[in-house]
Structures are given as structure tokens and as C-alpha cells.
Structure 1
Amino acid sequence: MAEPSATQPDPGDAPERDPGDARDGVIATRGLTKRYRGGQLAVDGLDLTVPAGSVFGFLGPNGSGKTTTIRMLMGLIEPTAGTARVLGRPMPRAARTVLPQVGALIEGPALYGFLSGRDNLLRYDAADPTADPRTRRARVAAALDRVGLAAAAGKKAKAYSLGMKQRLGLAAALLQPRRLLVLDEPTNGLDPQGMREIRTLIRELAADGTTVFLSSHLLDEIEQVCTHAAVMAQGRLVTQGSVAELAAGARGRLVVTTPDGAEAARVLKELRVGDVTADGDRITGEPPERDLAEVTVALVTAGVRVRGLTLERASLEDAFVALTGEGFDVAG
């Protein structure tokens, strides 16, 4: 394919805007579809909008199409149908314009095991035609320090733990300022302290104006760090929106704490509270239709010693299970 000349505009600069365009979305897809040979439909008509400045969680069970979607967004594979725009430009057509503004860590970092962490980053940076070689070593040192690898910079990558390799891959994505950061399971292999550090780093990047798009099977992690989320199941988008809105869409749980568990469960069932379960002195059920004060009076009248009665807020995990019927382990 011929390189664009000085008189030929980059296709990504084309002024026309198609139905897949979304002016407010750093990522916007319309009808995005990927069908592999043999008829396997991996992504089916995806309409996704990632707001600028958000930390966007991309969730879904195994085989839901998350990684395939990310690969299409980054121009690694061609869609079968539909459109994808990243930073307002069509992908993969405008990849040469878009990708220098995007940092990505997809399906784990690709490293030279015989090179040190520092030398791996120097090679990554040298492969970037937009990188200034005069500031290369300073930027590599800053990236290593930012992910907590400064002390291990001279160690060969093959001796790195899985968590250290994840950190090094993230450092590669941060060698230059990025408008968009795409992360596939960024906390994979990290210990709890490392996970906290990465959460803090993601928040800092977002505060600096970088939009972060990340997939994860750790719903608690998503809920702690993300402002928005989307849920995939069987190649289709189930829902998307702010994390608070998604969690609010799932019903919470009524929780009664009492030493009289059996009697409390009986009373709740008489009050037509659904899905009553007992675990020691903790009795739970679906939120009742009636006022909580009436529930309390009924329990006390029946002689139940109520030590606590609350409505627990639904979590993102509750919303995910309600939407997909899947359990907690939803990597893929």
C-alpha cells in the first residue's frame, strides 16, 4: 500500500462523519461485528460509547467477546461489519494517526526475556516513530518509577514474576502522555499491595485527563476504580452506563441480624419477603414491598431479638449476576 504523499490526506483525516461516529465518545462503535471462519460470531452488533475522561470497565464472562472487541478497536483485526471510532477517527483505517495517542496492554506484555526491564522499554520507545530519542532514557526511568520497578530495572525480564511483567507492560504503555489507555486485565498476577498501587495510578491518569478503558474479571476492582462500565454476554452488549447506575439497577438485600434466626426467617416469609436465607445470626431476603418499620414491628411482636435490620446496597457483582446469570469469575 502506498504511503500518503504531501498532497494526499491521511484517510483518518477525512472530513465526512459516518453513523458510527460519536462526537462525545473517545471510543464509539456502531453495529460492530466479528464473525470468524466457521461461522463463530464473537461480537454481534456492538454499540458502545466510552465518555471522555472516564475510567471505563469492560465486563463479561468467558467467550463474551471482550478481547475480540479490544483487538478490533486497536486495529489488530478487521471487523466483519459495523464501525469503530477511536479518538474520533475510524479504525483500523486511521491506525497510524490514532495509535501514537493510545497506550495499550492487551493479553499480557510481549517481552524480550534476555533483556533487562529497562532495555525492553528502550526498545519499545525506539520503535515509536513519534518518540524523541533525546529524552528516551529519562522517560523510561520515569515510567519504571511510576509502576514501582525502578529497583528492578536492571534485572532480566525472564526473571520477573507475572506481576512484575504486568507492571513492565503498563510502563511501556506510559512512556509518553496518552489520550487513551487500553488495559486488558491490568492487575493480573499482582498481590493486594500491587493492585492498590495500580488502582491509584489509574485514578491519577484519569485525573490528568487520560481516558482509561480496562477489562477485568475482578468486579470489586472495577467498582472501586471505574466511573462507567459495560457488560458483555455471548458477544452482545447487555448494558452500559455509570457504575452507580448499573449497581442501582440491581435490587439490594434485606439483612436482619438476630440470635433467633429460625423465627426471624418464619416471620419474613409470612411477610412475603422473597428468597429468605439464613447464615448463622444473619438472615437475608429480597427488599420487602412494605416499610422497614413494619418489618421491624412484626419481628419484635413475634419475639425476635432484632440486633440489626438494614437494606444493603446492591453491588456491581449483584448487577452482573442479575444481567448475565454468571458467577463471579468472569474473565475472558
Structure 2
Amino acid sequence: MEELSAAESDSADDTGGTGTVSVEETVPVEETVIATRALTKRYRGGQLAVDGLDLTVPAGSVFGFLGPNGSGKTTTIRMLMGLIEPTSGTARVLGQPMPRATRAVLPHVGALIEGPALYGFLSGRDNLIRYDSADPTADPRTRRTRVAASLDRVGLTAVAGKKAKAYSLGMKQRLGLAAALLQPRRLLVLDEPTNGLDPQGMREIRSLVRELASDGTTVFLSSHLLDEIEQVCTHAAVMAQGRLITQGPVADLAAGARGRLVVTTPDPADAARVLKEQGVADVVVAEERVTGEPPDRELAEVNAALVAAGVRVRGFGVERASLEDAFVALTGEGFDVAG
């Protein structure tokens, strides 16, 4: 993981020039927290990791950055945080150009990228103390209070004295998140924050994200889990093979896809046969539940055909489309949906 603090921003600000670039001391409040235009990253050998990305993240949103592993999400985040330079295009974070304005921007940003970087021989508490002491904006007089509050927020108080090398992957993820939350942040950037967590841990992290958003923090959350994005995010962008497929409010993205026709019946085999005859595609039978893509005809006629064929219909309707339905409609493929 690259954990970014105000202290580390000095090294991140080095873009290969011979002098220090002057940037504003304060970061203005912006309606758009992240904005990229034609952002592109091509690695040596010609690999195109991010291709012409135009991304807009509204202030106050929980923004899901969604795509299969290898779709360019982490590369994009590294460019946004000033860790690598784009091949072309621009990126602005909190209204400032990155990577040029890292010194002004990063003190307002908490980040957990590619897993936590920890000192295994130190305890969880001492790791956080070390992170906090590296931040020149942090008041040393309140350091231990700040660290204790951060540990409590992610549920690690009971194991704070345990060496980090003995932590499970999920515990390390929590500790990395605690480091990102040591100071109040205007923007929190999380790359696969539930990686390694059990279902209970996932629920706790989702609850924490909602709490942070309600306090006014914009959360930019990268994930390959559709279910995770749909549960916690207000807005989302979908990446595939380095390109932006779509972005917008989560509800609007799902609304753009057709829902599934659902028939509940004790006669699933007969129902499936009739639905296919009525033009329903992709018919799936799961016990007494039969689903399919609605046909381009009046659904009342489909229901009537089921009844006329002697199918005992106990339920009939169209389910609201999910984010998974929207992704499949846009790309013709799917990926992990487990939460």
C-alpha cells in the first residue's frame, strides 16, 4: 500500500524536475473533488493501462470505482495521488493539478492503496504512532488520543499491542484504514478496502464508509465487487480494459438496464417452456423461481399464456435491474458480484 500523509507528500511531489513547483498553500472547496480529462497511462512495452479517462467525482459522494481486476483502477488511483505521472491528459484533486500540487492536496486526503505497508516488528498502535509522527501537521500532544480513537473506529483496540506481523490480512486492512483516518480528511481514497475481510468485517467497513460520508467526507472507493458498490455508493464509474464505460448516480446506472422477468410457480419446467415460446430470452430455472429477459411485448399476454397452459402462477413481475445487470448490458460480460 501507499499510505499518503502530509510528510510523504514531499517525496510524492518530486516529478523529476530540478526545483520545487509553487502551489497554493490551501486547497479551495470544490463541487467536484476529482476531475480527470483524457487521462492516459502507457507503460514501457506499450501496455496501455488507462486510456483517455474522463472522470468526475462530486463532493460529498461515496463514489464507487468499479471494474474487473486489471481494468486500470489502481493505476488511475496512483496517478490521482501523484505516485506516478500520466503519459498524457490531466488530473485535478480538490481543485488542484496532480502530481504538481501534492504538497497542498495530500494533507487533506487519506488513502489506502494496494494493501497496508506496515512494520511487522511494531505493534499496531506503534505503527500508527509512527505514521502520525511523520505528519508535520499533526499535534504531538494529542497523538496517542488520535491513535486510540482511530484504532477504536476500525475495531482494533483489543489487539493494538499485538505485533503487526501476527495480524491477519483483514486486520492489516483495518490498520491501514486506521492510518488513513488519523486526521480529518476531505477525501478518503480506498483501493479494495474489504480485501481479506470476513462478511462481518465487510459490513463494518461499509458502515464506517457511510458514517464518514455523513460527516462530509467524500469517499472514493475502488472495488471489483458489484454488490459492495451497490450497497454503499451514491455514484459509480465502470472501467473495463483501461477505458471508462459509464459513470453517474448508481440508481441511474441501474435504471438504464432492463430488469428480469420473474415467475414464481410450482411448475417451473412448464413455465420455462411457455416463457421461451413467448419470446423470453435467457430463461433460468431455480427451484420454483423462473427468470428471463422480458420480451418486447405486453407482459399481460405472457402471464395469460402461462395460465392458459395450466401453469400455476403464484408470482409474476419484473425485478428492478441491479448494477450487475447494467454492467452486463454495457459490456456483455460480468465479474465478481459476491459481497
TM-score using structure 2 length: 0.90
Instruction: Give the alignment partner of residue 23 of structure 2, picking from 5, 8, 11.
Output: 11
1:111 to 2:118 alignment: yes
Q: Indicate the SS of the match to 1:199.
A: helix
1:82 to 2:89 alignment: yes
The 8 Å contact of residues 62 and 330 in structure 1, kept in 2 or not, is answered as no
1:139 to 2:151 alignment: no
1:270 to 2:271 alignment: no
1:282 to 2:294 alignment: no
Distance 1:14 1:180 in 2: 15
Distance 2:136 2:25 in 1: 19
Distance 2:272 2:167 in 1: 53
Q: Indicate the SS of the match to 1:276.
A: strand
Instruction: Give the alignment partner of residue 38 of structure 1, picking from 45, 59, 65.
Output: 45
1:101 to 2:108 alignment: yes
Matches within 5 A, 1:299-310: 299-310=306-317
Distance 2:100 2:245 in 1: 28
Matches within 5 A, 1:1-332: 1-3=18-20, 10-12=22-24, 24-329=31-336
Distance 2:160 2:26 in 1: 43
Counterpart AA for 2:104: T
Unaligned runs of 5+ in 2: 1-17
Counterpart AA for 1:77: I
1:59 CA drift (Å): 0.9
Q: Indicate the SS of the match to 2:170.
A: helix
1:310 CA drift (Å): 1.9
Unaligned runs of 5+ in 1: 5-9, 16-21
Distance 1:161 1:262 in 2: 47
The 8 Å contact of residues 264 and 283 in structure 1, kept in 2 or not, is answered as yes
TM-score using structure 1 length: 0.92
Q: Indicate the SS of the match to 2:54.
A: strand
The 8 Å contact of residues 61 and 326 in structure 1, kept in 2 or not, is answered as no
Alpha-carbon displacement from aligned partner over 1:105-162 (angstroms, at most 9, x marks no partner): 0000100000000000000001111111111111000000000011111111011111
1:325 CA drift (Å): 3.1
Q: Indicate the SS of the match to 2:207.
A: helix
Alpha-carbon displacement from aligned partner over 1:7-28 (angstroms, at most 9, x marks no partner): xxx334699xxxxxx9531000
1:64 CA drift (Å): 1.1
Distance 1:77 1:149 in 2: 32
Distance 1:2 1:288 in 2: 64
Distance 2:57 2:317 in 1: 35
Distance 1:13 1:121 in 2: 26
The 8 Å contact of residues 30 and 94 in structure 2, kept in 1 or not, is answered as no
The 8 Å contact of residues 255 and 283 in structure 1, kept in 2 or not, is answered as yes
Counterpart AA for 1:157: A
The 8 Å contact of residues 264 and 315 in structure 2, kept in 1 or not, is answered as yes
Alpha-carbon displacement from aligned partner over 1:59-96 (angstroms, at most 9, x marks no partner): 11122110000000000000010000000000000000
Distance 2:172 2:74 in 1: 19
Find the counterpart in structure 2 of residue 19 from structure 1: none
Counterpart AA for 1:169: G
RMSD: 2.0
- Number of residue pairs matched? 320
Residues 141 and 13 of structure 1, relative CA distance in 2, 3 Å threshold: closer
Q: Indicate the SS of the match to 1:108.
A: coil
Q: Indicate the SS of the match to 2:55.
A: strand
Give me the identity figure in percent.
84
